[in-house]
Amino acid sequence: SYSLDHGRTWKHYDKNPILVKPERDPKVFWHEPSGHWVMMMYGEGQYHILTSNNLIDWTDVKKPLGNSYECPDFFELPIDGKKENSKWVLIRADGRYSLGTFNGTEFKEETDQFSSDVGPHFYATQTFDNVNTGDGRRIQLAWMRGGTYPEMPFNQQVTFPCLLTLRSTPDGPRLYREPVAEIAKLHLKEEKWANRTLRAEETLPLKQSSDAYHLKLDVSVPVGSTLTLDIRGVPVTLTHDSIANGTDPVKVRGELKNVEIIIDRTSIEVFGNGGEISTSRCYLPGNEKVSFRASGGSATIISGSVWTLESAWKGNPAYEVTK
């Protein structure tokens, strides 16, 4: 189907089908250096690369990529913001990605596959870079597959939009995920801490009550200590060098120094060390309380802010019905 009015109305192409493949959810983009359209399409346990000059007639270049499954996303990113040094990023449906080069018809993989998010509810990501700010940011959303919403008039949700960047590390370039800066537009009341040390078994509750929160913290969690954020009966656990959010603890490189957390009605997204670690999960709240607790020893919030968030849907008629 095609639209001639910016997607407001659609017409079926009268010469369908233009392509016969056993799967769906292709990634289609314009490759400027080659002067043609590129489609990445899953089928038979691998990704197929097809090209077209008109989006109607497609040619399979016969250079498939194995060890790949469903819903590909594929794009180029500069390393450390330097456009002259960039890599192509191929993300599989399960969030695992690899880096390499792309000449318009062939992706040459140069790395192993790494996890872009280690949480239990992260699948089928999609990105866009045509944001109206004109800065070319690569922004990602993911389907939070597996969430449950009893007695709700909807089903499923997506993650908060995240900025993707490639950064140099001692192990080579890696993908980082952080919430987009526009989250600040949803900020309401702020609560701050500075050098707030929690003794072992001490609890620090949040003062403000809200459906949603945004937290940014610089922390010091000594070896042997644990700092747990209890979110309505669901724990997010921080140690000296790891984060656990619905999974076993996942280690950062070196020491865990800062965390950013988005809490919504049924989702928790945690980002460690500037997006080095990202972990997304769904949950069902058991109560309305949100608090920190240290155990095994003391832990310090060196500096921190927590904002209550207003709904991004405020002003939409659907929001007025469900709020």
Q: What is the pLDDT of residues 209-242, one digit of tens each?
A: 999 999 999 999 999 999 999 999 999 999 999 9
Over residues 179-188, the mean pLDDT reads 96
Q: What is the DSSP letter of 184?
A: G
Do residues 290 and 229 lie in contact, with contact meaning Cβ atoms separated by under 8 Å? Answer: yes
Could you give the domains of the chain?
27-179 (2.115.10.20), 183-309 (2.60.120.560)
Confidence of residue 131 (pLDDT cuts 50, 70, 90): confident
Three-state secondary structure call for residue 310: coil
The pLDDT assigned to 23 comes to: 80
- Asked if residues 117 and 142 have their Cβ atoms less than 8 Å apart, the reply is yes
Give the integer Cα–Cα distance in Å for 114 and 96.
Answer: 5
Q: Which residues contact residue 5 at a Cβ distance below 8 angstroms, ignoring those fewer than 6 apart?
A: none
CA dist 323 and 314 (Å) reads: 9
Place of tokens 């079926």: 12
Report the pLDDT averaged over residues 142-152: 92
Contact 201, 178 (CB under 8 A): no
Confidence of residue 11 (pLDDT cuts 50, 70, 90): very high
| CA distance linking residue 34 with residue 260, whole number of Å | 40
- pLDDT over threshold 80, residue 322: no
And the tokens for 16?
């369908």
Nearest of 172, 148, 147 to residue 87 by alpha carbon: 172
Question: Quick one: pLDDT at residue 292?
Answer: 97
Residue 317 CB contacts under 8 Å (≥ 6 apart), including other chains: none
CA-based radius of gyration for the chain: 22
At 130 the pLDDT is 77
Please give the pLDDT value at position 136: 86
pLDDT tier, 319 (very low <50, low <70, confident <90, very high otherwise): low
Long-range CB contacts for residues 141-145, cutoff 8 Å, separation at least 24: 142/95, 142/117, 142/280, 144/267, 144/280, 144/281, 144/282, 145/121
Type of residue found at 68: S
> Mean of the pLDDT values across residues 65-85?
94
What's this model's pTM, rounded to 2 decimal places?
A: 0.93
Beta bridge partners of residue 97, listed in sequence order? 91, 114
Which residues partner with 279 through β-bridges? Answer: 270
